[in-house]
Chains A and B, each alone.
Chain A
């Protein structure tokens, strides 16, 4: 529990800091009628982004500034971080990593059997401390009071406070079963004629290695990482795509697009928007992953423990590729709209392939063998950002298969960017109603 409190306090403090910063900014902006007389100082990173030619960098910077300032972004990021923190921290609450267990000894116990009890406790995840009990009544009293978890009476029977159920996986129950089995075996061996030392030696012997004919199932941690990766990719692609859609519709519906295009080419404007929103997207994703990994390490979460850096990089790579593909699609979609109220009706069909790839991939993680559908989806650019990293997590894609999917994805991005730019160029200045694709391609 103490591990959970730290991160939660950190999140609450972070929220507090954001609120204080916002209050200060508001105070600053109240006095900024004077402040507006001075040009704002800019970080060096901004200067380098501005270097992107023909206004592309300026458009990207505006997008970054407006997004990061927006309440939707801040609240949304906070909610995602809280959700990630909850997913990492909550499973660790109540789980005991390694407990100290007191075991009462009534009537003495041979030293070799004492070693066996300690070893059995370790197998159950507990560090055993043996306590001598003067009588059974005293041991029962300590059991009821919770002072000891288990009492061994004369080395022949065990007494616990609550009956053991088959579904009980607590450390107490695991230890009781383990000690019971070990002592039972040792007693049986002694009865069969072995000396107590030999009996303990046999009872304490290491298990035999087990080999299977079928290949081992791929690392389950990679699967867990993949589940989180799929959720992250789905949420972020949908979110960033919708940002682009709304950004393009805002420029069109407010008619500012005409002012912008009077001084720069549509392709440059579009590139600036994609780069700007993409930068925010990448930074937000990196923050989420960093928080998840940091919190996981701090609380000793088993969810991410053991995640291969390559698995994480693979997810981030496909997230970037997915964005590079869908950003053009959403931007072109936005150029077809005439007003903000059309966001939902335009976003829904664009989200369908994302949703399809996400659901099929998530379902596939439950089985050890990927379906043919999954193997096809892994090579189609609209679904590859979900399907290919899933195949990799399942251990069902070789490096060259992933490479081919990557190359197809790059080709898909180039193609879709060309088509989307064409649609954007043809539709962005058309007003007076929603533009149909038929009109765009026929030029009517």
Chain B
């Protein structure tokens, strides 16, 4: 288990991390969410000692992270980093060796991951000659090649086409199934919803909420979808006490109900407007959880 314990980091007046604490269990894909500049990248860099913390510490398996632990971590930074003029397979092998692998094992693992990620045919090309999507796959291979116990991936899905996203998503799920810790950040919330079992949401360096996707989507106020035939604005709902219109899509109003509101009362009000085409409760989307958390 990876633990962030009271991480604090300030850049002058700017607070990048504000007593940030949460833990990432091994064996599941853990999403790390937050608006731009919320401190996700800073927190991830803190794992590798790439920034000096003003307070707090990062622990792995209950102890402070050591240089030998770092050899068993895989990292994909937000700003991708590879030698542009170096041959792909040599570059991955080199990074594998830096993580302590033997020469032949590094070579075999390199070719295996390039194959798995669909870029084996570019193994002898220079990185700079690859498309951005393929560079992204190579970068992911560099994070995975040494068979890490923990993966820290900063925006691993950006720049990938749908096929690439499926491949990467499959790899992350596979790694989690093997018992590895997988922490990744993303702005593509629908994808996070599908990939992750748990998420942590931070804002201005502070933890806002955390839990399994299931818990977060089913927690909070009830959400009702009502569609009245011929009605496109859901004006009928706007005056109801304890009811907030979240949004209206194609005539279907998504309503958020206070605890005290009787859903049958809402139904009757809607029926007075016209015939009902749709009526039912729904789960919160992760994007809604996110918006509500950071607003």
* Residues of A that sit less than 8 Å from B by CB: 29, 32-33, 35-39, 42, 55, 58-59, 62, 66, 250-251, 254-265, 429, 431, 444
* Chain B positions within 8 Å of A259 at CB level: 75, 77, 81-82, 95, 142
Query: Are B83's CB and A254's CB within 8 A?
Result: yes
A-contacting residues, B93-111, CB 8 Å: 94-95, 97-99, 103-104, 107-108, 111
* Chain A positions within 8 Å of B50 at CB level: 258, 261-262, 429
Query: Are B123's CB and A36's CB within 8 A?
Result: yes
B155 to chain A, nearest CB (A): 13
Query: Are A250's CB and B83's CB within 8 A?
Result: yes
Number of residues from B at the complex interface, CB < 8 A = 34
Query: Are B98's CB and A58's CB within 8 A?
Result: yes
Option from A58, A251, A254 in Cβ contact (under 8 Å) with B97? A58
Option from B45, B94, B103, B108 in Cβ contact (under 8 Å) with A62? B94
* Chain A positions within 8 Å of B71 at CB level: 263
Candidate in A32, A55, A254, A429 with the most chain B CB atoms within 10 angstroms:
A254
* Chain A positions within 8 Å of B80 at CB level: 255
Query: Can you name the residue of chain A whose Cβ is closest to the Cβ of B73?
Result: A262
Query: Are B82's CB and A262's CB within 8 A?
Result: no
Candidate in A36, A59, A251, A429 with the most chain B CB atoms within 10 angstroms:
A36
* Chain B positions within 8 Å of A444 at CB level: 12
B58-82: contact bitstring with A at CB < 8 Å (1 yes, 0 no)? Answer: 0000000001001101010101111
Instruction: In the A-B complex, list the 3 residue pairs whose CB atoms are closest, starting with the nearest.
Output: A255-B81, A256-B81, A39-B107
* Residues of B that sit less than 8 Å from A by CB: 12, 45, 48, 50-51, 67, 70-71, 73, 75, 77, 79-86, 89, 94-95, 97-99, 103-104, 107-108, 111, 121, 123-124, 142
- Identify 8 new A-B residue pairs, CB closer than 8 A, beyond the known A33-B123, A55-B97: A36-B89, A39-B108, A59-B98, A254-B81, A255-B77, A260-B98, A263-B70, A263-B73
Query: Can you name the residue of chain B whose Cβ is closest to the Cβ of A54?
Result: B67
Please judge, given known A-B contacts A55-B98, A258-B50, A259-B77, whether A33 and B121 are in contact too, CB under 8 Å: yes
Query: Are B111's CB and A36's CB within 8 A?
Result: yes
A372 to B38, alpha carbons, bound, how many Å?
61
Query: Are A37's CB and B111's CB within 8 A?
Result: yes
Query: Can you name the residue of chain A whose Cβ is closest to the Cβ of B107?
Result: A39
B190 to chain A, nearest CB (A): 28
21 CB-based A-B contacts, threshold 8 Å? A29-B124, A33-B121, A33-B124, A35-B124, A36-B111, A36-B123, A38-B107, A39-B104, A39-B107, A42-B103, A55-B98, A250-B83, A254-B82, A255-B79, A259-B77, A259-B95, A259-B142, A260-B81, A262-B77, A265-B67, A444-B12
* Chain A positions within 8 Å of B82 at CB level: 254, 256, 259
* Chain B positions within 8 Å of A58 at CB level: 94, 97-98
B164 to chain A, nearest CB (A): 20
B104 to chain A, nearest CB (A): 5
* Chain A positions within 8 Å of B95 at CB level: 259, 263
Query: Are A263's CB and B98's CB within 8 A?
Result: yes
A39 to B107, alpha carbons, bound, how many Å?
6
* Chain B positions within 8 Å of A258 at CB level: 45, 50, 75, 77, 79, 81
B7 to chain A, nearest CB (A): 17
A29 to B80, alpha carbons, bound, how many Å?
26
* Chain A positions within 8 Å of B111 at CB level: 36-37
A261 to B71, alpha carbons, bound, how many Å?
11
A297 to B150, alpha carbons, bound, how many Å?
62
A257 to chain B, nearest CB (A): 7
Query: Are B75's CB and A262's CB within 8 A?
Result: yes
B273 to chain A, nearest CB (A): 55
